[in-house]
Amino acid sequence: MKIIHSIIELRSEIKKFKLLEKKIGFVPTMGALHEGHLSLARTAAKNQDVCVVSIFVNPTQFGKGEDYEKYPRTLELDAELLATIETETQKPLLVFAPTVSEMYPNDRYSLTISMPDLTNRFCGISRPGHFEGVALVVSKLFHIVEPDVAYFGQKDYQQTLVIKRLVSVLNFPIEIQVLPTLREPDGLAMSSRNAYLTAEERKIATVLFQVLSNIQANIQKGERSVSQLIQTAKQTITQFPQIQLDYLDVVNGDTLEPL
Ligand code: AMP
């Protein structure tokens, strides 16, 4: 497994595979890898000839006062985990771990990709500028890696819509695959940021999954009133003053428009 820090070197490695008509699967990440990330890498490696995993804590997608500085950076451990995928799948795996100056030499904020109908809601409100940063870095990574298929997690659902729009409008010749959310045994979605939780917060965090599962069960039982579904869910959440809710809604899965 190769760990590559420079764009030129990565391009030249990928070119060798492309000349052999190998299919490239790509998994962009910010590192601090867990089984959720690894499931994407495993699928990419199994279904394509070569797997490229990028590990880059992208400054442009963090807002002021967010956790950019304290975001966990564990490249050595991440590389060990990815090496196990390479062994398991017997497919070549390249890790791309650029520095900030490699990705943003001097033009960091000079291009904004904006799709307000998708991003002026939910995470886009709690994290202004976040999706613009994601769209920028993913565009750059797509141009650098030129994958055939790129893999994203359903956990970041709004992000998957942003990526699909990006690929469609900018004509990237890349197939986007969205894979299911991997969860801890008690239902909490795996996330690098779970490491921030205290033992008490970690216990309470499972309420989010319980609430989502209840909404699903109530829909399956025939409940059709969105306001009723949300009211019931919010009643559960308000029992936990430690939870500060950013948003909870039942919306159109393609447009995020309210139902
Ligand atoms: P991140 O490192 O948080 O930027 O995530 C990199 C990719 O892994 C994104 O496509 C995420 O949606 C995906 N991902 C993160 N957590 C999970 C999870 N628990 N299950 C599946 N995919 C995930």
| Listed residue (184, 249, 185) closest to 211, CA to CA | 249
pTM of the model: 0.98
**Which pLDDT tens digits describe the chain residue by residue (259 residues)?**
999 999 999 999 999 999 999 999 999 999 999 999 999 999 999 999 999 999 999 999 999 999 999 999 999 999 999 999 999 999 999 999 999 999 999 865 579 999 999 999 999 999 999 999 999 999 999 999 999 999 999 999 999 999 999 999 999 999 999 999 999 999 999 999 999 999 999 999 999 999 999 999 999 999 999 999 999 999 999 999 999 999 999 999 999 999 8
CA–centroid distance, residue 222 to ligand 1 (Å) = 32
Q: Could you tell me if 149 and 175 are in contact, meaning their C-beta atoms sit under 8 angstroms apart?
A: yes
In this structure, the residue with its CA closest to atom 12 of ligand 1 is 153
CB atoms within 10 A of CB 182: 18
**What is the predicted pLDDT for the residue at 126?**
94
Q: Could you tell me if 25 and 45 are in contact, meaning their C-beta atoms sit under 8 angstroms apart?
A: yes
In this structure, the residue with its CA closest to atom 14 of ligand 1 is 153
Q: Is 130 a catalytic residue?
A: no
CA–centroid distance, residue 28 to ligand 1 (Å) = 9
Pocket residue to mutate for ligand 1, from 27, 30, 34, 37, most atoms within 8 A of Cβ: 37
Pocket residue to mutate for ligand 1, from 33, 40, 53, 142, most atoms within 8 A of Cβ: 40
Atom of ligand 1 nearest to the CA of 27: 7
**What is the predicted pLDDT for the residue at 172?**
98
Which residues contact ligand 1 via a Cβ below 6 A?
29-30, 36-37, 39-40, 152-153, 155-156, 181-182, 189-192
**What is the predicted pLDDT for the residue at 167?**
98
Structure tokens at 155: 């956990």
CA–centroid distance, residue 150 to ligand 1 (Å) = 12
Pocket residue to mutate for ligand 1, from 29, 34, 208, most atoms within 8 A of Cβ: 29
